[in-house]
Every structure is written in structure tokens, then in C-alpha cells.
């Protein structure tokens, strides 16, 4: 079921947004999850996950190495929040989970 696959992304993003994992841990976990994901996503789902992949790839923790197009941790969190909102909407519409169910499932 694709819902459980999306749930992995939602749980990872939520953990990062709530400071349960550091940015570097999120970066490595997201890249690993995305690059090894064999799920056949809908165009909308893939677009959200792929855009966040680009954002994660643009993340640079070291300010001395950061280029103007790179993202810092706060910018990455902003992008994650946008992606999470979009993914939550998909879960709600397609799989019947309400926003409060998602909060209970992932925030605790």
C-alpha cells in the first residue's frame, strides 16, 4: 500500500521538524529512502518527493561552504514543512486519514 510508503516520508520529515533528528541525520536518511524507493508514485506524489529531494540535495550545513543556491537548516525545515503539508493533504484525501489522525500517528 502506498499509504505506508508515504508514511515513511511523513514520519521522517516530522522527526526532523520536531528536532528528534539533526539536519545531517535527516539529510542522509531522506537521500537513502528516496534513492532506494521502488514505489510507483502518482505524478503528484513523485513531484512532492522529488522536489524535496532537490531541497535536501541543496542543503549545506557548513556556512563556509554554502553557495548562494544552497539551503541552511532553517530553509530546509521550511521546505520540509511545505512538503509535509502537501503529503498530509494527499493522505487525507486518498486514504481517509484526518489531520488529527496524522498528528497522533507521527507527532505522538
Q: Using one digit for the tens of pLDDT, what is the confidence trace for 36-76?
A: 999 999 999 999 999 999 999 999 999 999 999 999 999 99
Whether 4 shows a pLDDT value over 70: the answer reads: no
Provide the pLDDT for residue 47: 97
**Which of 80, 64, 71, 68 is CA-nearest to residue 21?**
80
Provide the pLDDT for residue 1: 42
pTM over 0.85: no
Q: Domain range spanning residue 7? A: 2-106
**How many domains is the chain built from?**
1
Please give the share of the chain, as a percent, with pLDDT higher than 90.
74
How open is the CA angle 24-26-52, to the nearest 5 degrees? 115
Whether 100 shows a pLDDT value over 80: the answer reads: no
CATH code of residue 58: 1.20.120.650
Provide the pLDDT for residue 39: 93
Task: Please tell me the distance from the alpha carbon of residue 91 to that of residue 93, in angstroms, as a whole number.
Answer: 6
Task: Please tell me the distance from the alpha carbon of residue 19 to that of residue 34, in angstroms, as a whole number.
Answer: 21
Provide the pLDDT for residue 102: 53
Amino acid at each position: 500500500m502506498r499509504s505506508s510508503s508515504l508514511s515513511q516520508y511523513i514520519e521522517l520529515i516530522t522527526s526532523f521538524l520536531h528536532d528528534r533528528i539533526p539536519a545531517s541525520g535527516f539529510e542522509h536518511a531522506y537521500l537513502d529512502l528516496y534513492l532506494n524507493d521502488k514505489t510507483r508514485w502518482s505524478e503528484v506524489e513523485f513531484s512532492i518527493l522529488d522536489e524535496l529531494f532537490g531541497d535536501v540535495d541543496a542543503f549545506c550545513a557548513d556556512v563556509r561552504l554554502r553557495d548562494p543556491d544552497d539551503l541552511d537548516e532553517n530553509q530546509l525545515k521550511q521546505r520540509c514543512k511545505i512538503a509535509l503539508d502537501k503529503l498530509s493533504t494527499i493522505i487525507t484525501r486518498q486514504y481517509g486519514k484526518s489531520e488529527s489522525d496524522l498528528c497522533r500517528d507521527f507527532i505522538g
